Amino acid sequence: MTTARAAGLLLGVAADTVLADTVLADTVLAGPRRLAPDRRPADAVRAALLLGGAVLAGVAVERLGRRNPLLQAAGTAAATWAVLGGASVVAEGAALARALDAGDVAQARQRLPRLSRCDPSALDGAGLARAAVESVAGSTADAMVGPLLWGAVAGMPGLLCYRVVDVLKAAVPPHAAAGHRWLTAAATTLDDLANLVPARAAAVLTALCAPVVGGSAPGAWQVWRRDRALYPSPNDGQVAAAFAGALEIRLGGRTAYPHGIAERPVLGHGRTPDAGDVTRGVELSRVVGVAAAGASAVLAAVVGAGRGRRRGALG
């Protein structure tokens, strides 16, 4: 088990790169999208079943693979591939960058909803570029670093549970009616707890990887340390601040959403982002994903070795 989980994580990342998919996310999202605000007990049961079912499925396969390293590696690889979304984020971000670079603002507006909840109709080229970089930054943590970190520590249950929590947060409306604000609060709290470590790990990896794409590592560290606490959420500003510093651009500010205008804190002190910055942001996300894959494999091996020693001592 010491190396099987690590191998499975790496195989899952490779599969996501070649066959980008989000199977579990697409399957689970069909449930939360139909949550009824006037049936709170039923909603609570459905959410609990989604979370519990994901964990139980992961635990069952994990136990079956304890005596069979090949099954352990294969199960971890399949779960990793199913929950990762890094390759999809990179592909969508690159396509939007190409549209902006060609001056096709209409095409960029059509693509933005695949990355962001912002209202694209209210954004010009610069606004679209800023929203794209912000979304790529956030998705670097949510779609790559978070799942891999939880997978390294908790195996298949960690991978599946993390993704379900993330999907539930995305499926619940941020501005809910009074009848089901409890559901928004619960999903937000779960998501905040699940991402406390991954968001910060992603920011650190962003700073370390910035020079690979011609970015500024000192800038990433400086802006991250200065601006990461400006957002009310404990996690939202972490990776965005690191990306802003690494790319030497400004993120945040006045942002249009379907539900209205939000005045978000400004992160960084550089210039307004453009199509080239979206391209660099996408490449930075890709590099951070590779670094996260390697780090998660090492962490999984260390965690597995520690558990093996404890079992040997008890035996």
Mean pLDDT of the chain: 85
**Cβ neighbours of 275 (radius 10 Å):** 21
Q: Classify residue 65 by burial, with Cβ atoms within 10 Å: 0-12, 13-18, 19+.
A: buried
Residue range 44-64: mean pLDDT, rounded = 75
Residue range 102-122: mean pLDDT, rounded = 93
User: Which pLDDT does position 267 carry in this prediction?
Assistant: 96
The span from the CA of 14 to the CA of 16, in Å, is 5
For every residue of 84-148, DSSP letters joined together read --HHHHHHHHHHHHHHHHTT-HHHHHHHGGGT--S-GGG--HHHHHHHHHHHHHHHHIIIIIHHH
Residue 303 has pLDDT above 60, yes or no: yes
Residue range 183-196: mean pLDDT, rounded = 86
Given the DSSP bridges, would you call strands 251-257 and 260-267 parallel, antiparallel or unpaired? antiparallel
Percent of the chain with pLDDT over 70: 83
Residue range 203-228: mean pLDDT, rounded = 97
Q: Is the CB of residue 303 less than 8 Å from the CB of residue 158?
A: no
Residue 310 has pLDDT above 70, yes or no: no
Query: Where is mean pLDDT largest: 50-64, 69-83, 209-223?
Result: 209-223
Residue 63 has pLDDT above 90, yes or no: no
User: Which pLDDT does position 3 carry in this prediction?
Assistant: 86
